[in-house]
Amino acid sequence: MSGLTPPAAPDVIVMPAAEAYDFEYFRARVDAVLLSRSIAVRVFRMPLLAVPVGGIRRGGSFGADSLAVALAVRDVLAPLSGFPGARITWQCTPRSSYAVEWGDRPPVTWLDDNERLAFYGLTRPALGLEPEPDLGHRDRDRRSSPAAFSCSSAAAYNRCPR
């Protein structure tokens, strides 16, 4: 035996949806009924939104940087209503990482961005209603949102759509 101990499982805390860092992003894009059933999942210090399936939303995803985090998040979501078939997958884009998915499995490739948005029950925000992000010195024409990535779930979207 090498004397090494495996890392402790990370603490995963369920919080009210409005506590999620990405709540405003989803508030402008997800059906209000689904948003009211969503939860914030805090891993370490950052709570992110997990949106259940329902209505037109067929699936969701929550990105994780390690297998230990993915297992902990899956264990929290699996018994909750709206997160059927919670499972761990490996995502290659926008960066390689684990993700917890629930609901229907997303296609391997999307025909276009509209197909991806529809699968996750996301809509484009009405013009003028989306708050302008504070980008500091960065060029505003080069900004991107989680929706700009071809990830199989929102934040994320790992930040894949959750």
* Cβ(23)–Cβ(121) below 8 Å: no
Edge-first strand listing for the sheet containing 87-91: 59-64, 97-103, 87-91
Q: Give CA angle at 53 (52, 54), nearest 5°.
A: 120
pLDDT band at 6, cuts 50/70/90? low
pTM of the model: 0.73
What is the pLDDT, as a whole number, of residue 64?
92
Average pLDDT, integer, range 140-158:
36
Give the domain ranges of the chain. 12-125
**What does the pLDDT look like over 7-36, one tens digit per residue?**
666 789 999 999 999 999 999 999 999 999
12-21, 89-98, 116-125: the lowest-pLDDT one: 89-98
User: pLDDT-derived band of residue 141, with 50, 70 and 90 as boundaries?
Assistant: very low
Write down the mean pLDDT value for the chain: 81
